[in-house]
Amino acid sequence: MINDILARFDAGETLSKADLCALLQIPVGSEDYYCLLAAANGYSRRAFSGKGLIFGQLGLDAQPCRINCKFCSLAKDAMNGKPVQICGLEDTMRRAKELAEAGAEDVFLMTTAEFSPELFLEYGKAVHAVLPETVRLVANVSDFDLAYAHKLREAGFTGVYHICRLGEGIDTSVVPEVRIRTLDAVRDAGLELYYCVEPIGPEHTNEQLADEMIRPRDYPVGVMAVMKRIAVPGTPLAARGEISAARLAQICATATLAMRPQRAMCVHEPDELCLMAGANQLYAECGTNPRDTCAETRNGRGFSVEDAKAMLKKTEWN
């Protein structure tokens, strides 16, 4: 079965949802499991010419976020009286520049849904002005319409990280239709869309995972990703636990074959096994982080650019 699927992938065929579900149900550690990882690894080493990539993400604020996602440390219920924190403009410019100078090829500015959209455009313009021309500037913000997507572009953003999350509308307070409207706005404004299957928890079915691997086919997506859900203490979903590294690698490999990403395949958070299963790109992070209870994620979960470089080197990505 898997040999047939992998042969059709090699022949250039687009894999179906049934194919993806078959790959996702392979028992971890079986011979087929390693064949799947090898196929994704082989694809990515060829497609990306052995080159590893590092992106940098800067979280701008910690405010009780109205979207109230059940896995997020910045959600209204999880914040529960913790101090509000907003990175100033000068600090944002300095930190974004530092990320780029350290080697981040794309720099992401991330906010909660409480951050003013107009102020965010001002931040974007200021950061764009200090970044080298070769560095892409990417927005990771709440939902918006086409008019705002154009404003992001005018401010200097080249792309947007946006997704329809697993459990959207159940574990978050945003329905999938709103996410899809934003995804369409990103595409229609000519911004690059960065997509991810996230946040993956033990309860998600193979069908749910496959749906989110297929959804980005409706858009031009050059950078695909997978991310497991972190069991953040104090969040409602922490009790459900986390998927294993072995399972994440299987999902990473399957998503790679599903999307054939042309520019990069990311695993979030950094993970060596996934770098041998299709991933070639990691994030360095600083500032606030929905997956961290530490106010400055560089002192907590966040990798530095140097940490990311070291992991890429260990797995023999250039």
Q: How far is the CB of 165 from ligand SF4 (least distance, A)?
A: 8
Q: How far is the CB of 311 from ligand SF4 (least distance, A)?
A: 25
For residues 204 and 309, which CB has a smaller minimum distance to ligand SF4 in the complex? 204
Q: How far is the CB of 11 from ligand SF4 (least distance, A)?
A: 39
Those residues whose C-beta lies under 8 Å from the C-beta of residue 296, and which sit 6 or more positions away, are 286, 287, 288
Strand pairing class (159-161; 85-86) = unpaired
Alpha-carbon span 250 to 246, nearest angstrom: 6
In angstroms, what CA-CA distances link 304 with 58, 136, 230, 298?
11, 18, 19, 7
Q: How far is the CB of 170 from ligand SF4 (least distance, A)?
A: 13
For residues 77 and 211, which CB has a smaller minimum distance to ligand SF4 in the complex? 77
Cβ count within 10 A of residue 247: 15
> Nearest to residue 173, comparing CAs of 236, 215, 127, 226?
236
Q: How far is the CB of 113 from ligand SF4 (least distance, A)?
A: 5
For residues 73 and 281, which CB has a smaller minimum distance to ligand SF4 in the complex? 73
Tokens 């982080």 sit on residue: 289
For residues 22 and 78, which CB has a smaller minimum distance to ligand SF4 in the complex? 78
Structure tokens that stand for 167 in this block = 């459990």
For residues 172 and 280, which CB has a smaller minimum distance to ligand SF4 in the complex? 172
> Nearest to residue 63, comparing CAs of 71, 73, 54, 49?
73
Q: How far is the CB of 87 from ligand SF4 (least distance, A)?
A: 14
Upstream peptide bond of 269 is cis (omega within 30 degrees of 0)? yes
Query: Percentages helix, strand, coil for the chain, rounded to the nearest 5?
Result: 45, 15, 40
For residues 52 and 290, which CB has a smaller minimum distance to ligand SF4 in the complex? 290
> Nearest to residue 106, comparing CAs of 277, 265, 270, 284?
284
For residues 69 and 251, which CB has a smaller minimum distance to ligand SF4 in the complex? 69
Q: How far is the CB of 52 from ligand SF4 (least distance, A)?
A: 27
What is the contact surface with ligand SF4 in residues (CB under 6 A)? 65, 67-69, 72, 74-75, 112-113, 172, 290
Note whether 104 and 54 are within 8 A (CB): yes
